[in-house]
């Protein structure tokens, strides 16, 4: 997503790749130092110098800061620690490959990186569906299937965590609150540059046998399997660090960087959803990292957290893992719901219905999300006295979720629905997430969950919540903000074709999976019972249709970026929020004149409503009402 | 607005009626074959019936507004400025809270007790052990040990005691609708009564299936289930009980094979055609289960001999039947991916 006039001046790859090469060199030096330390220690103990897992863990631990310093942390930040002048980064398209502190560059970096990872993990999903065309699994052997399935799972989880928050959050939260950047721009760059090692680790893990324990990686299996598991563990810890720093940055930005007049009740709903998700990311992510640290120590340091024979407890892991991983689904979904409500209001030409209740819904979900984790463990063999309390807390989360639906359907009701591509995707979220939410009731209810747990019913359910609630919202946002980010309009017909193919393909892929779960197909299987083949073939063929819809998307993006017609309007959607008051694409400082917020973001049709924002002359009062 | 409300309300009503009709008339679930399963099936149906009006409300609002109020071309006017303040959200809160409370109590908490309760004085106790990648089933009171099928008498209360020797597994019989994890170092349990006779060959839902990812052959970690009459069960027990005919060696040829470090020490065994012979398995892996079974070929579809599974350190002599001249396939059923070989009969 570069700008044409800059591309025409020529793009110098040597300059662009300099930071990454610097990072690689720094990483290698750090890795060498770490592995060297292990070698010295082991030599003193009279053992062989290289132990794959231990050497790698210590090497990576030092290699990661080496990578960060080399990629730009040193020049843009570290030099300051020694009293030296920091050096500016590159300009033009090369800044997308550098340690840039501009939140818009970082937003695009996140968006492009995670869309690419999304497509990659989507290809793995296609491999899974090809395998499941036949009950006896003729394409991949069992071990390869388990590794592909595990890799698909974790990459998609990473995409779900970061694509909307990192992409749209970074790009639009500062603009929507009238700020010129995030509160901590360098920390923001650091968060992004922690991501490439995560992707490299997950892919490189395949060279040392991969890991076959899924993205959940339950021990004892994850203590006993191939060394790829250690790469996975390190990737999660690194990714968690990125996520925590990002959460902190968003909270501080939203609390302290709002423009004059941007009161909490005038905050666009997407910003509220980011605020809610950031609380979760900051508060819960360390549990996943902690669980991974314990597995790693069991493998390389001889601890026995999960070894029953030595006094450990396999169930311990599941509790700690789900402390994070249940709130994580709200980290995925809340920003998606925020994008959805945002678009529903603008494209229904109505105020966001029951705005305060929607905010209350987000914060209510945040409050309850931390006390529902054990509904993932109803059949784990944990103490039976835990079943009823977690049934109750889990069902209660449907009340704040209901507020979000109230806001959505209240906004749609009687609206002047402008069915452009972003709106179609937003309406798609309402439908899909409804199915995701309702099927969740069956899994929160202990008796029905006992049978459905770990079956394709669960697979269908969480794809409905994550794809339905977040990925549809992601594409709603991509089409909605594409003209703002790129200054170009996408092709509406191709956009609508993408929506319909994706919507039909998605539903026709995952509805049959509910049926499969009810009829005895458990999840994470390379082979299955022959009588289920017809329905599996249906799911696979529709899955290929779903995949094809992304080809249309890519064609649309390429067509829109490459065709000669240059400009999109600054405000193609006639929307009220601040990002549409500035140029497309926005200038580097966002607002040439600082904005003054004077009204609500969604007051469509409200008689005598003041504009959401206006541009006060410099030096005007910055008093917050 | 009133006209819109009436029309959308009628759409909601129509969708709800159709939905409820489908819930009642289409049986989404295959029939449960245990008492607990029937309870779960009932809870599922109740939840479906409750879900229909909620689902159709949202669909009705969205579909009606699209049909009645979508704009063609550019939006030239705004919609009505309904802010959603006042009593409507409060009413919504009251209704959704009421529905949630209902779901929590019924079918939630009311069916929880009947489904998860364990019957301590069950008619039959079955011990199930998960091991990568098979299930070993024992009947301690009947003297049947480590068989690889689950045979149950119909209409008798069975208590399962489940554990694992290596990683997490999960014990699921799809036809019974019940599952619980097999956890190393713990014994988990549930009880149920099968309500119908049947067998895996005619109903694939009658199988013990591992449902917790456990490594390489997770999807294949299953053994057949058979629910039989009381008499059939008694005769099955007497066949498989303590007095095992396999165990006694006699003067015939004995082939030696050892299992060590999860591998066999030989890849080929040779035996004479048309004569009975013995295989002596020396299990040198302490605490690890092994056996030797003979199949007609590598697909392992047709089993010719299945040796008892036992833990090392120990040795057992299996008595094999006379075989025709052919090359057969043998393996350890506990480690079918790695412990295999050829039995050449000439």
Residue whose entry in the numeric block shows the structure tokens 């991974």: A292
| A525 closest CB neighbour out of B75, B166, B219 | B219
| A405 closest CB neighbour out of B58, B109, B337 | B58
Q: Which residues of A touch B224 (CB under 8 A)?
A: none
Cα of A146 vs its chain's centroid, Å: 23
Q: Are A258 and A178 in contact (CB under 8 A)?
A: yes
| A454 closest CB neighbour out of B44, B75, B170 | B170
CA distances in angstroms from A277 to A179, B158, B186, listed in the order given = 20, 47, 37
Q: Label residue B193 by pLDDT band (50, 70, 90).
A: very high
pLDDT reported for residue A615? 86
Interface test with B, best of A450, A459, A523, A600 (most B CBs within 10 A): A450
H/E segment holding residue B132: none
A54: tokens are 């231990």
Please indicate whether, in this complex, the C-beta atoms of B183 and A146 are within 8 angstroms of each other.
no
Q: Label residue A9 by pLDDT band (50, 70, 90).
A: low
| Residue A104, min C-alpha distance to chain B (Å) | 29
Domains recognised in chain B with CATH numbers: 2-72+84-116 (no CATH), 124-240 (2.60.40.420), 245-345 (2.60.40.420)
Q: Please check the confidence at residue A108 and state whether its pLDDT lies above 80.
A: yes
pLDDT reported for residue B242? 64
Pairing status of strand B340-345 against strand B268-271? parallel
Q: Is A37 part of the contact surface with chain B (CB cutoff 8 Å)?
A: no
By C-alpha distance, which of A312, A296, A293, A294 is closest to A304? A312
Q: Which residues of B touch A305 (CB under 8 A)?
A: none
Fold (topology level) of A89-562: Cytochrome C Oxidase; Chain A (1.20.210)
Phi, psi torsion values for B128, nearest 5 degrees: -120, 130
CB atoms within 10 A of CB B325: 11
What mean pLDDT comes out for the span A573-597?
94
Query: How many Å apart are CA B144 and CA B164, to the nearest integer?
Result: 19
CB atoms within 10 A of CB A545: 16
Q: Are A391 and B112 in contact (CB under 8 A)?
A: yes
Domains of chain A, by residue range, sit at 22-88, 89-562
Q: Is A308 part of the contact surface with chain B (CB cutoff 8 Å)?
A: yes
Q: Is A418 part of the contact surface with chain B (CB cutoff 8 Å)?
A: yes
Please indicate whether, in this complex, the C-beta atoms of A605 and B81 are within 8 angstroms of each other.
yes
Q: Please check the confidence at residue A566 and state whether its pLDDT lies above 80.
A: no
Query: How many Å apart are CA A470 and CA A478, to the nearest integer?
Result: 12
Phi, psi torsion values for A122, nearest 5 degrees: -65, -40
Residue whose entry in the numeric block shows the structure tokens 């819904």: A361
Higher pLDDT: B252 or A130? It is A130
A413: tokens are 């009701």
What mean pLDDT comes out for the span A570-597?
94
Pairing status of strand B169-173 against strand A613-615? unpaired
B138 by DSSP, 3-state: which? strand
Tell me the torsion sign for CA atoms B61, B63, B64, B70: positive
pLDDT reported for residue A621? 47
Closest Cα in chain B to A430 = B58
Q: Tell me what the pLDDT averaged over chain A comes to.
A: 94
CA distances in angstroms from A166 to A102, A103, A106, A585, B172, listed in the order given = 13, 10, 8, 18, 40
Please state the ipTM of this predicted complex.
Answer: 0.92
| B216 closest CB neighbour out of A142, A356, A399 | A142
Q: Is A316 part of the contact surface with chain B (CB cutoff 8 Å)?
A: no
What mean pLDDT comes out for the span B207-219?
96
Q: Is A431 part of the contact surface with chain B (CB cutoff 8 Å)?
A: yes
The H-assigned helical ranges of A349-397 are 355-369, 387-396
What mean pLDDT comes out for the span A538-561?
97
pLDDT tens per residue, range A13-49 = 888 899 999 999 999 999 999 999 999 999 999 989 8
Please indicate whether, in this complex, the C-beta atoms of B179 and A351 are within 8 angstroms of each other.
no
Give the number of A-B residue pairs with CB atoms closer than 8 Å: 280
Q: Which residues of A touch B69 (CB under 8 A)?
A: 414-417
Query: How many Å apart are CA B267 and CA B307, to the nearest integer?
Result: 17
Total residues belonging to chain B? 346
A475: tokens are 């594409």
Q: Label residue A1 by pLDDT band (50, 70, 90).
A: very low
Q: Tell me what the pLDDT averaged over chain B comes to.
A: 91
Beta strands per DSSP E along A197-318: none
What mean pLDDT comes out for the span B131-152?
93
Closest Cα in chain A to B69 = A416
Q: Which residues of B touch A388 (CB under 8 A)?
A: 109, 112
Between the CA atoms of A189, A194, A197 and A198, what dihedral angle is there, to the nearest 10 degrees?
-130
pLDDT reported for residue A476? 98
| B170 closest CB neighbour out of A309, A379, A607 | A379
Q: Please check the confidence at residue B248 and state whether its pLDDT lies above 60.
A: no
pLDDT tens per residue, range A237-278 = 999 999 999 999 999 999 999 999 999 999 999 999 999 999
pLDDT reported for residue A7? 47
Query: How many Å apart are CA A442 and CA A450, to the nearest integer?
Result: 10
Interface test with B, best of A319, A414, A571 (most B CBs within 10 A): A414
Q: Is A139 part of the contact surface with chain B (CB cutoff 8 Å)?
A: no
Higher pLDDT: B324 or A481? It is A481
Q: Which residues of B touch A309 (CB under 8 A)?
A: 184-185
Interface test with B, best of A448, A455, A534 (most B CBs within 10 A): A448
Query: How many Å apart are CA A261 and CA A613, to the nearest integer?
Result: 9
| Residue B186, min C-alpha distance to chain A (Å) | 8
Q: Please check the confidence at residue A4 and state whether its pLDDT lies above 60.
A: no
Interface test with A, best of B88, B89, B161 (most A CBs within 10 A): B89
Q: Is A604 part of the contact surface with chain B (CB cutoff 8 Å)?
A: yes
Q: Which residues of A touch B53 (CB under 8 A)?
A: none
Q: Please check the confidence at residue B249 and state whether its pLDDT lies above 60.
A: no
Q: Please check the confidence at residue A286 and state whether its pLDDT lies above 70.
A: yes
| B185 closest CB neighbour out of A308, A388, A445 | A308
Please indicate whether, in this complex, the C-beta atoms of B85 and A384 are within 8 angstroms of each other.
no
Please indicate whether, in this complex, the C-beta atoms of B96 and A402 are within 8 angstroms of each other.
yes
B86: tokens are 């006042």
Phi, psi torsion values for B329, nearest 5 degrees: -115, 130
Between the CA atoms of A273, A274, A275 and A281, what dihedral angle is there, to the nearest 10 degrees?
120
Q: Which residues of B touch A407 (CB under 8 A)?
A: 84
pLDDT tens per residue, range A422-439 = 999 999 999 999 999 999
What mean pLDDT comes out for the span A281-287?
96
H/E segment holding residue B164: strand B158-164
Q: Please check the confidence at residue A527 and state whether its pLDDT lies above 50.
A: yes
Q: Enter the DSSP assignment of A610.
A: P
CB within 8 A of A131, min separation 6: which ones? A137, A138, A139, A140, A145, A526
Q: Please check the confidence at residue B175 and state whether its pLDDT lies above 80.
A: yes
Interface test with A, best of B213, B214, B299, B338 (most A CBs within 10 A): B213
Q: Label residue A5 by pLDDT band (50, 70, 90).
A: very low
By C-alpha distance, which of A404, A366, A351, A367 is closest to A601? A351
Q: Please check the confidence at residue B88 and state whether its pLDDT lies above 80.
A: yes
pLDDT tens per residue, range B9-31 = 999 999 999 999 999 998 888 88
Q: Is A265 part of the contact surface with chain B (CB cutoff 8 Å)?
A: no
pLDDT reported for residue B338? 87
Q: Label residue A3 by pLDDT band (50, 70, 90).
A: very low
Q: Which residues of A touch B85 (CB under 8 A)?
A: 354, 356
Q: Please check the confidence at residue B117 and state whether its pLDDT lies above 90.
A: no
Residue whose entry in the numeric block shows the structure tokens 């069991």: A298
pLDDT reported for residue B200? 96
Please indicate whether, in this complex, the C-beta atoms of B61 and A409 are within 8 angstroms of each other.
yes
CB atoms within 10 A of CB B44: 23
């Amino acid at each position: 997503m570069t700008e044409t006039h800059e591309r025409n001046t020529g793009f110098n790859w040597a300059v662009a790749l300099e930071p990454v090469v610097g990072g690689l060199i720094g990483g290698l030096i750090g890795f060498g130092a770490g592995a060297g330390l292990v070698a010295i220690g082991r030599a003193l103990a009279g053992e062989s110098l290289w132990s794959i897992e231990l050497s790698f863990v210590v090497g990576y631990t030092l290699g990661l800061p080496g990578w960060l310093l080399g990629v730009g942390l040193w020049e843009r930040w570290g030099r300051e620690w020694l009293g030296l002048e920091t050096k500016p980064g590159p300009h033009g398209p090369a800044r997308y490959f550098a340690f840039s502190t501009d939140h818009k560059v970082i937003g695009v970096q996140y968006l492009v990186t995670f869309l690419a990872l999304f497509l990659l993990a989507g290809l793995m999903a296609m491999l899974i569906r090809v395998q499941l065309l036949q009950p006896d699994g003729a394409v991949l052997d069992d071990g390869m299937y388990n590794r592909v399935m595990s890799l698909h799972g974790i990459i998609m989880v990473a995409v779900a965590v970061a694509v909307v928050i990192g992409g749209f959050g970074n790009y639009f939260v500062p603009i929507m609150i009238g700020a010129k950047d995030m509160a901590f721009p360098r920390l923001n760059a650091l968060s992004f540059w922690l991501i490439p090692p995560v992707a490299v680790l997950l892919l490189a893990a395949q060279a040392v046998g991969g890991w076959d324990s899924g993205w959940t990686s339950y021990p004892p299996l994850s203590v006993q399997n191939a060394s790829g598991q250690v790469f996975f563990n390190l990737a999660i810890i690194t990714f968690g660090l990125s996520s925590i720093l990002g959460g902190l940055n968003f909270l501080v930005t939203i609390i302290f960087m709002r423009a004059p007049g941007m009161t909490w009740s005038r905050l666009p709903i997407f910003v509220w959803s980011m605020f809610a998700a950031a609380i979760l990311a900051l508060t819960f992510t360390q549990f996943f990292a902690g669980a991974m640290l314990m597995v790693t120590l069991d493998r390389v340091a001889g601890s026995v957290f999960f070894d029953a024979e030595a006094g450990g407890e396999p169930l311990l892991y599941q509790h700690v893992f789900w402390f994070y991983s249940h709130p994580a689904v709200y980290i995925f979904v809340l920003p998606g719901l925020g994008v959805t409500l945002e678009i529903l209001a603008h494209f229904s030409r109505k105020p966001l219905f029951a705005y305060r209740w929607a905010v209350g819904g987000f914060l209510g979900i945040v409050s309850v999300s931390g006390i529902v984790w054990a509904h993932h463990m109803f059949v784990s063999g944990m103490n039976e006295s835990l079943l009823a309390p977690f049934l109750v807390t889990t069902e209660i989360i449907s009340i704040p979720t209901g507020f979000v639906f109230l806001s959505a359907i209240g906004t749609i009701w009687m609206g002047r629905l402008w069915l452009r591509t972003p709106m179609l995707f937003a309406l798609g979220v309402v439908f899909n997430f409804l199915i995701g939410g309702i099927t969740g009731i069956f899994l929160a209810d202990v008796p029905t969950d006992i049978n459905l747990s770990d079956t394709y019913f669960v697979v269908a359910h969480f794809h409905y919540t994550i794809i339905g609630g977040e990925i549809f919202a992601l594409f709603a946002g991509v089409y909605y903000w594409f003209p703002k980010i790129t200054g170009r309009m996408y092709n509406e017909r191709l956009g609508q074709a993408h929506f319909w193919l994706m919507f039909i393909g998605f539903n026709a892929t995952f509805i049959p999976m509910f049926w499969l779960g009810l009829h005895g197909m458990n999840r994470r299987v390379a082979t299955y019972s022959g009588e289920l083949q017809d329905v599996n073939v249906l799911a696979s063929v529709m899955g290929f249709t779903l995949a094809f819809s992304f080809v249309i998307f890519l064609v649309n993006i390429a067509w829109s970026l490459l065709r000669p017609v240059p400009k999109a309007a600054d405000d193609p959607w006639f929307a009220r929020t601040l990002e549409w008051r500035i140029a497309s694409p926005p200038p580097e400082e966002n607002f040439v004149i600082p904005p003054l917020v004077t009204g609500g973001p969604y007051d469509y049709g409200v008689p005598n409503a003041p504009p959401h924002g206006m541009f006060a002359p410099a030096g005007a009062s910055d008093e917050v009402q | 607005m009133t006209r819109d409300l009436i029309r959308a309300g009628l759409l909601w009503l129509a969708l709800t009626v159709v939905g409820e009709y489908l819930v009642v008339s289409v049986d989404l679930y295959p029939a449960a074959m245990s008492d607990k399963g029937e309870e779960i099936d009932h809870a599922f149906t109740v939840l479906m019936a409750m879900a229909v009006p909620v689902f159709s409300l949202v669909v009705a609002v969205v579909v009606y507004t699209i049909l009645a109020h979508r704009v063609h071309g550019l939006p030239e006017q705004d919609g009505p400025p309904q802010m959603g303040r006042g009593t409507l959200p409060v009413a919504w809160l009251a209704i959704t809270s009421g529905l949630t409370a209902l779901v929590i109590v019924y079918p939630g908490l009311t069916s929880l007790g009947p489904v998860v309760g364990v019957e301590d004085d069950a008619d039959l106790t079955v011990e199930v052990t998960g091991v990568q990648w098979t299930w070993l089933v024992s009947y301690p009171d009947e003297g049947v040990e480590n068989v690889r099928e689950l045979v149950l008498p119909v209409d008798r209360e069975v208590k399962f005691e489940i554990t694992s020797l290596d990683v997490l597994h999960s014990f699921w019989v799809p036809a019974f609708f019940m599952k619980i994890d097999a956890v190393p170092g713990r014994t988990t349990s549930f009880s149920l009564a099968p309500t119908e006779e049947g067998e895996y060959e005619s109903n694939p839902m009658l199988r013990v299936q591992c449902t917790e990812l456990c490594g390489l052959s997770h999807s294949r970690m299953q053994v057949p289930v058979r629910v039989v009459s009381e008499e059939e069960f008694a005769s099955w027990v007497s066949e498989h009980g303590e007095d095992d005919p396999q165990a006694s060696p006699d003067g015939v040829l004995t082939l030696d094979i050892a299992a060590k470090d999860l591998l066999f020490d030989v890849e080929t065994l040779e035996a004479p055609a048309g004569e009975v012979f013995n295989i002596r398995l020396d299990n040198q892996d302490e605490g690890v289960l092994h056996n030797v079974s003979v199949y007609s070929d590598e697909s392992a579809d047709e089993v010719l001999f299945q040796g008892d599974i036992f833990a090392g350190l120990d040795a057992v002599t299996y008595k094999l039947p006379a075989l025709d001249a052919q090359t057969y396939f043998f393996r350890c059923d506990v480690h079918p991916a790695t412990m295999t070989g050829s039995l050449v009969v000439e």
